[in-house]
Amino acid sequence: MFSRHHRKTRVLYALTDILLTALAFGAAYQTRLAVLPQILGFEHEFYFTGPGGALLLTYSLLVWVLGGVWMRIYERLEGALPAVVILDAFRQCVFGAVAVVLFEYLLRFDLSRPFLVFFFIYSWAFLCLFRLNVATLARLLRREFAKPHYVMVVGDGEIARRIGSLLEGAASYGIRLSGFLRTKEQNGGNETIQLQAGYPAYPASELPELLRNRIIDEVIFAVESREISGLEELLLLCEEEGVRTRLAVDFFPHVNSRIYLEHLGQAPLLTFSATPHDEITLTLKRLIDIVLSALSLFLIAPFLGAIALLIRLTSPGPALFRQVRCGLNGRRFVCLKFRSMCENAEALKPQLEHLNQRTTAFKIHNDPRMTSVGRILRKFSLDELPQFWNVLRGDMSLVGPRPAVPEEVEQYKRWQRRRLRMRPGLTCLWALAGRDTLDFESWMRLDMEYIDNWSLALDLSIMLRTVPRVLSGKGAH
């Protein structure tokens, strides 16, 4: 279905979760307040006083919805198998229940344990009951209240037939395929294009009459790129009639790109982006980077000083190692690390090329240039703590592809260069999958997977999972 429908559906699911969670909260409260004392004879009374109940309810509604967003539950509810629906609802309710318990602990609420248990059970039951029956409910509402949405497709080639098949598949949403308009005149009058059903194929010259005599809510132009210039009159006709028009642009060779329309002044620009482009969420990502990096530097400043002193006392040379790396879109910047090798490590690198274990990046297991303190720093990624300064400056992000040295970038294959289109980070999917044990190709593909699926929720998930991974020291050489 159209992407705007999916966006609207995700919002509706979130709003429904707010309602169902509020109902579960009220049901759990009434169960603990009025039902359990009569059945089990509880002596300890439980009730909310003052604004405490309203505060807890508001917090619960917030964390239940945030849990759904973070775990991307709203994105996969449509068409999901019942087992997936039930498991997702369980995970969401566990997330919410844990958040409520932490909230109780921090604010010293005296919450009834049976209330929390029933709140979890009711919310899980209500979410499952609604989500397992939402498709049936939606079909009933459409049948009784919604009107069919009629769509005409301009074109009769492969692209048009593919669009027609997609429209057929959206019949449950009220979409009705009215037929096709041939862009090339043929003898023999109207024909039929056979998909799952047969649809009339009208000459393009009949569009004015069809718009006057038929119900057509919108027209989709699905033709080859060379045909678009010859359809200007049809586009203008639809505009004059006030009919919504869409242009299928899948003939452009942009497999990984998201396509959207922007304006430069009054000039419309069809934009292709193979990396995240939402300026609002990217700005939020940058704000998170600034706040967390500044806070981290403030909290660990004494620890940083102690590490720097230890490095200076155990081996000659500076405490910090500075190296030029490639950042966003290939911008060069000086990356900071605690020195974990001997002072002349870069000069010794040519002598160790035969020990390199990667095809592009330079990596040696048990590198002989490593100092005794450096091995410990590397094992627990303590050598990378100064990079919080790079994050604060905007050279890096907390989460993103690892910053590569220019020599590596020069050897990249074309598809690998796309990783430069996102700000490099301290951690990413490669840090969770094996850190230094990964081969170069897997490393690159994990970075591409991150770019293609990026979201703030994914960043948060990676950061939370990185902490125990780093503390364990697994996968670091």
Q: Would residue 41 count as lying in a domain?
A: yes
Question: What is the Cβ-side half-sphere exposure of residue 452, based on CA atoms within 13 angstroms?
Answer: 10
Radius of gyration of the chain from Cα atoms? 30
**Domain CATH number, residue 187:** 3.40.50.720
Q: How confident is the model at residue 311 (pLDDT cuts 50, 70, 90)?
A: very high
161 and 75, same domain (yes or no): no
Beta-carbon contacts of residue 467 (< 8 Å; ≥ 6 apart): none
Reference 443, options 424, 465, 464, 458; nearest CA is 424
Would the pLDDT of 389 be above 80?
yes
Position 154 scores a pLDDT of 92
Could you report the per-residue pLDDT of 1-51, keeping only the tens digit for each? 555 566 677 788 889 999 999 999 999 988 877 766 666 655 556 666 667
The overall average pLDDT reported for the chain is 83
* Residue labelled with tokens 């193979």: 274
| Backbone phi and psi for residue 122, each to the nearest 5 degrees, phi listed first | -65, -45
Beta-bridge partners for 246: 220
- Work out the average pLDDT over 163-185: 85
Q: How confident is the model at residue 276 (pLDDT cuts 50, 70, 90)?
A: confident
Could you report the per-residue pLDDT of 73-86, keeping only the tens digit for each? 887 777 678 898 99
Q: How confident is the model at residue 178 (pLDDT cuts 50, 70, 90)?
A: very high
Could you report the per-residue pLDDT of 95-149, keeping only the tens digit for each? 999 998 888 877 777 777 888 899 999 999 999 999 888 877 766 655 555 578 8
Q: What SS3 class is residue 221?
A: strand
283 and 247, same domain (yes or no): no
204 and 125, same domain (yes or no): no
Q: Would residue 256 count as lying in a domain?
A: no
139 and 159, same domain (yes or no): no
Q: Would residue 376 count as lying in a domain?
A: yes
| Domain total in the chain | 3
H/E segment holding residue 40: helix 36-40
Reference 401, options 386, 418, 387, 413; nearest CA is 418
The token pair that represents 88 in the structure block: 């997702």
Q: Would residue 380 count as lying in a domain?
A: yes
The token pair that represents 245 in the structure block: 């028009």
Q: Would residue 262 count as lying in a domain?
A: no
Could you report the per-residue pLDDT of 192-234, keeping only the tens digit for each? 898 999 999 998 888 999 988 888 989 999 888 888 888 888 9
Q: How confident is the model at residue 169 (pLDDT cuts 50, 70, 90)?
A: confident
Of 122, 145, 168, the residue at which a domain comes to its end is 145
109 and 158, same domain (yes or no): no
45 and 169, same domain (yes or no): no
107 and 159, same domain (yes or no): no
206-215, 291-300, 311-320, 435-444: range with lowest mean pLDDT: 435-444
- Work out the average pLDDT over 363-373: 78
Q: What is the distance of C-alpha 323 from the center of its chain? A: 31
126 and 215, same domain (yes or no): no
303 and 442, same domain (yes or no): yes
| Backbone phi and psi for residue 218, each to the nearest 5 degrees, phi listed first | -160, 160
Of 104, 119, 145, the residue at which a domain comes to its end is 145
The token pair that represents 473 in the structure block: 């020291």
Of 99, 121, 145, the residue at which a domain comes to its end is 145
Position 368 scores a pLDDT of 76
Position 327 scores a pLDDT of 92
Position 129 scores a pLDDT of 92
133-142, 270-279, 306-315, 452-461: range with lowest mean pLDDT: 133-142
CA distance 466 to 446: 15
CA distance 18 to 1: 25
430 and 284, same domain (yes or no): yes
Q: Would residue 225 count as lying in a domain?
A: yes
Beta-bridge partners for 221: 154, 247
Q: How confident is the model at residue 306 (pLDDT cuts 50, 70, 90)?
A: very high
237 and 288, same domain (yes or no): no
Q: How confident is the model at residue 69 (pLDDT cuts 50, 70, 90)?
A: confident
- Work out the average pLDDT over 263-281: 78
114 and 163, same domain (yes or no): no
Contact 451, 422 (CB under 8 A): yes
CA distance 205 to 181: 9
Would the pLDDT of 338 be above 90?
yes
Could you report the per-residue pLDDT of 321-334, keeping only the tens digit for each? 999 999 988 899 99
Q: What percent of the chain is modeled with pLDDT above 90?
A: 31
Q: Would residue 271 count as lying in a domain?
A: no
Q: What percent of the chain is modeled with pLDDT above 70?
A: 85
| Backbone phi and psi for residue 260, each to the nearest 5 degrees, phi listed first | -150, 165
Position 174 scores a pLDDT of 78
Could you report the per-residue pLDDT of 399-422, keeping only the tens digit for each? 999 898 998 888 888 888 888 889
CA distance 210 to 207: 5
Position 52 scores a pLDDT of 75
List the domain range (segments joined by +) for residue 295: 279-472
Q: Would residue 329 count as lying in a domain?
A: yes
